[in-house]
A and B are shown apart, each in its own frame.
Chain A
């Protein structure tokens, strides 16, 4: 009895018995050599699995299934609204990140003038002196407007085509959270230039927060950093706008789209 390991799977003998062409022989030798070291079969199995999954036959769409003769083609552009709002969100994120390089959320005054705050003069610099700054701010603002509009229209489309119905209640609710957060996104961004309109919109926000029963003062403290507007308010709006909301909204959008992916798009029958 020798200590030499027996070759349980005598691939050499098996290859000899096969009567292979030179190409096949080189190929098999290389394959066996690699497989004994890397266990390629396991990965081949994965690839095979993927192949059959991607080559599944598509089911018929509803218009085909119910023989609707494509009468409802005019609905279909409305089905792009969700992806339009996502695209606008991406554009706003990129232009916003670029704007963030030139902006600081501070109500400190500059140059001895009482009203010229750091935030406001930064926005003035972006719009007046920075190369492409006016365009950048314009693009950020317009993509935000377009995103909000697309989100509202998307909600109407979902309502009037009954796409919120039975298996999709959860996504409808996530959608309501998302539309609310979109508006909060817009509101916090509206306050950042610290212009006259920003200030008084912030004033209304504080008053609204204060009129919430029971927890009003606590909410005003948390969100606006006090009962009167100031440095703390602007900084909280800034952190909400560039740090907190991006994470939350991006995550929720991913979940929202993921659920659509899993459940499929509800076409009108």
Chain B
């Protein structure tokens, strides 16, 4: 690219076809408006005047933000190209698995099967409609749908809400606020994961810590859901509310520890192969 060229270069550069032109061409030049050479004999097709700025030159001359945008895009395009040149990424010499018909038929089959499964479920297990809303009688069991149990369970963290001695045993935030804030905290922790864990590692064995965190989180989602339905649990299993509360927090820790131990053990035998295959191709920074 001619990124380094300036405006003055454009205007002062002597034109090469001027030099080679014979002396008697002044009169012809006066009526020539296109500026191109008309020595061609094949019907007067003339190229565009090379003094006219091209679109990229016009863009280069702009100022301010558009200029910066242009310069950045040029740089990134250049970077792309350099990376592509430096890469040893191999393209195959045959076309891939064809989209039509193979891939589309496969997708159609999977989609039909999936929709069919939903129709079957819907026909086999029809929904139950409870009695009409009655503001005067509170039902024994109040529950949202299953996917909100974890959130519902987080509302019941009352025993974890610290009582400050400074405030004379008062709580800094009410239990209800505490439950709502717990929801926000969980969601924002999940949202921050990609900003905390970077790098090329993909498999759980490569990062046992993060995999263990994930296992702990999944188990916690189940135990906190069990805490949300603690009266149902207490009716079914011989476990008191205090024990259930302890299990809610202990079980995820145990699961995370187990996952960590297992993955760390696997890693010993596993990373050799992985290193040999993978880091040889993409050396770690």
Q: How far is the CA of A196 from the CA of B91 in the complex (A)?
A: 61
Q: In the complex, what residues of A have CB within 8 A of residue B211's CB?
A: 160
A115 within 8 A of B: yes
B271 within 8 A of A: no
Stretch at the interface among B3-11, B50-58, B121-129, B239-247: B121-129
Give B194 Cβ to nearest chain A Cβ, in Å: 4
Residue from B118, B121, B197, B204 having most chain A Cβ neighbours under 10 A: B118
B129–A141 touching, CB < 8 Å: no
Q: How far is the CA of A201 from the CA of B199 in the complex (A)?
A: 43
B144–A201 touching, CB < 8 Å: yes
- Nearest CB to that of B204 among chain A residues? A160
B133–A198 touching, CB < 8 Å: yes
Q: A135-B122, A139-B122, A141-B127 are in contact. Are A162 and B203 (CB under 8 A)?
A: yes
Q: A57-B95, A187-B144, A211-B180 are in contact. Are A91 and B118 (CB under 8 A)?
A: yes
A36 within 8 A of B: no
Give B127 Cβ to nearest chain A Cβ, in Å: 5
Q: Chain A 203-224, CB within 8 Å of chain B: the 1/0 string? A: 1100110111100000000000
Q: In the complex, what residues of A have CB within 8 A of residue B91's CB?
A: 57-60
Q: How far is the CA of A162 from the CA of B121 in the complex (A)?
A: 32
Q: In the complex, what residues of B have CB within 8 A of residue A120's CB?
A: 132-133
A197–B132 touching, CB < 8 Å: no
Give A148 Cβ to nearest chain B Cβ, in Å: 5
Q: In the complex, what residues of B have CB within 8 A of residue A152's CB?
A: 147
Q: Chain A 156-171, CB within 8 Å of chain B: the 1/0 string? A: 1001111111101100
A199–B129 touching, CB < 8 Å: no
| Chain A to chain B contacts (Cβ below 8 Å), 23 pairs | A57-B91, A59-B91, A107-B133, A115-B132, A135-B123, A137-B126, A137-B127, A141-B127, A142-B122, A156-B214, A162-B197, A164-B194, A172-B191, A173-B191, A176-B191, A186-B145, A190-B144, A193-B129, A197-B142, A203-B142, A229-B133, A266-B202, A269-B202
Using CB atoms and an 8 Å cutoff, list the residues of chain B in contact with chain A: 43-45, 89-93, 95-96, 110-111, 114-115, 118-119, 121-123, 125-127, 129-135, 137-139, 142-145, 147-148, 151-152, 155, 173-174, 176-177, 179-181, 187, 190-191, 193-195, 197-204, 206-207, 210-211, 214, 218, 277-278, 281
Using CB atoms and an 8 Å cutoff, list the residues of chain A in contact with chain B: 8-10, 57-60, 64-68, 80, 83-84, 87-88, 91, 107, 115-117, 120, 123-124, 127, 134-135, 137-139, 141-143, 145-146, 148-149, 152, 156, 159-166, 168-169, 172-173, 176, 180, 183, 186-187, 190, 193-201, 203-204, 207-208, 210-213, 229, 266-269
